[in-house]
Each structure stands twice: as C-alpha cells, then as structure tokens.
Amino acid sequence: MGSNNDISLKALAKINLGLDVVRRREDGYHEVRMIMQTIHLYDRLDIKRTKEPGIQIQTNLSFLPVNENNLIYKAAKLLMDEFSITDGVSVKLDKRIPVAAGMAGGSTDAAAMLIGVNRLFSLGLTKRQLMERGVDVPYCIMRGTALAEGIGEALSPLPPMVKCPVLIAKPSISVSTKFVYQNLKLDDTTIHPDIDRLIDDIKAKNLHDIAAHMGNVLETVTIPNYPVIDEIKKHMLSNGAVGAMMSGSGPTVFGLFDDEDTAKKAYKAMRSSHLARQVYLTSVYNNRK
C-alpha cells in the first residue's frame, strides 16, 4: 500500500455484457440499459503527496494530456478544491487499458484518483460519497457486475458474474462514441438485446447462456462502418470463445472462454492474426466473493 505519503492503486477496466439503447430522449441523451462487468485488466497509479502545491502527472503514453484535460487531474482538483488542500500530489500513470476503446479507461483512472486523494489526505469519505462526486466514475468505484440504467447513472449491483478467462482485442482504428450514437437508428427493425434474460443467466451462473444472450445494439453502427470488429469477433469464436462482442461503443472486442488452455491458444492466434493492435488475456473480476 505504501506509506502515508504515497499509495499505489489499480484502476480496473470494464466490459459490457449487454448494452441496449432504449430510446433517444428529448434532450438528445440516450436512455440505456447496460450490464457492466469489471475485468482484471488495469492501469496502475502511483500517487504521492508533495509539499509543493499543484497536480503533477507523468504517463507512459506521450499522447495523453497531463494537464486539466486529463480526468485524473480533474478528479484530484475536485477533492483538493472542495477540502482546501494546500499540499500537492504527483501521479505516475502506467496505462495499459486501451484508450478510447469502450472500456472506461479514463473513468476508472479518475475513480482511482478520487480513492487515492481520499486516503492520502485522510478525508474520510465513504465509497458512496466518492461515487456522488464524479461523472462516469460511480461504476468504476463500485466495481463488479452491475446494471446501469437511465443515461448510465442509475446503478444496481447484480450477483457476481461467473469467473472465466476474457480475451481483449483492440484494432488499430478509433471509433468516436458521438459518431456511434448519432448514427444509431432506433426503429421497429432494431434488434434489442434481452437484458432481463441476461440478468437471469448471470444469476444462474451459466456461462454458455450468458454468451448466447449477450448483445450490444451499438454494433449495428460500428460493424458496417468498421468490418474489422466483426472479423475479430469471428476469429475469437473460431478459436473457441463461447461468446464474443464489442464493448461499449467500441472498437474493443472481448471474448469469453470456458477454459484457460483454449483462451491461451486464442490469445496467441489473435496476436499472430494482426487483426488487433492490443491483445490481452485477462479474467472476470468479482469484488464480492
């Protein structure tokens, strides 16, 4: 954990086991029903308390902002302003979660930063109080398996997802979340995933049923525009995944496996296929035993 003046935290990524867009609201926001799942792929934040005021960020990726445009910076500033903290913090971010990939990488880093500042400066905020202080951050503080509704802000914990290997593959393309939502057509022909059925499968801990009933309505936009997403899905399935799907608004694809050996072979096959720029083999994370 480090001393009282420094702390090392893991910021865990998420995938969506189900993502449905119910409707577009008058204000332009989309109403969703999503099942979120934390996985063991993570960024690491080494946070130090400094006598020198201000927020210093170092990162292993040169293209990430290290100023107020970084969500870590915003999260730290939020608490430091609120509690009139005069000391500073320095953060070393080792980023492994693919960026702009539908995996909540920025939000999970911000969540870890809130937790870190809370501990380093002994602010005494509860998990619930920290969740109230960030946009997109609450789920990353909560972790585990959860249903998100409304515009994503209404969270209900679900029973833990069955543990299994998860293969992650991000192609070298970037997909704009805004583009995906703007081009999403919701009409009578839209095939919506059955989120309630998926929740029942999760409760029953039946991996094959979960895989069969996973669905992401945003694939109707991304796959026609970015066929590589479908190629990656097919590659995972032909290499033994029980299910494969795009996470969030993409372009990351994940595959669920029912045994470690098959998952390891699929990982090697995916790496040598050159379909994806970043490939990771990880597993489902449960915060409740």
Q: What's 129-141 look like in SS3?
A: HHHCCCCCCHHHH
> Exposed, middle or buried: residue 281 (CB in 10 Å: 0-12, 13-18, 19+)?
buried
Residue of 14, 48, 95, 170 with catalytic role? 14
If pLDDT is split at 50, 70 and 90, which confidence band does 101 have?
Answer: confident
Q: Distance between CA 178 and CA 180 in Å, rounded?
A: 5
- Across the range 148-152, mean pLDDT stands at 88
CA of residue 224 relative to chain centroid, distance: 23
14 is catalytic: yes
Q: Distance between CA 7 and CA 120 in Å, rounded?
A: 7
Helix ranges, 16-131 (H): 71-82, 105-120, 127-131
pLDDT at position 2: 45
Q: Is a pLDDT exceeding 90 seen at residue 4? A: no
Residue of 46, 87, 136, 209 with catalytic role? 136
Q: Distance between CA 122 and CA 115 in Å, rounded?
A: 10
Q: Distance between CA 157 and CA 23 in Å, rounded?
A: 23
Q: Distance between CA 158 and CA 206 in Å, rounded?
A: 14
Q: Distance between CA 58 and CA 212 in Å, rounded?
A: 42
pLDDT at position 10: 96
pLDDT at position 27: 84
pLDDT at position 100: 82
pLDDT at position 76: 95
Q: Is a pLDDT exceeding 80 seen at residue 16? A: yes
> DSSP secondary structure string, 197-219?
HHHHHHHHT-HHHHHHH-EETTH
Give the Cβ contact number of residue 76 at 10 Å: 26
> Which pLDDT tens digit goes with each residue over 203-237?
999 999 999 999 999 999 999 999 999 999 999 99
Q: Which two tokens stand for residue 204?
A: 């029953």
- Across the range 251-270, mean pLDDT stands at 98
If pLDDT is split at 50, 70 and 90, which confidence band does 26 have?
Answer: confident
Q: Distance between CA 136 and CA 150 in Å, rounded?
A: 13
First-to-last C-alpha distance (Å) of the chain: 22
Q: Collapsing DSSP states into helix, strand and coil, what is residue 127?
A: helix
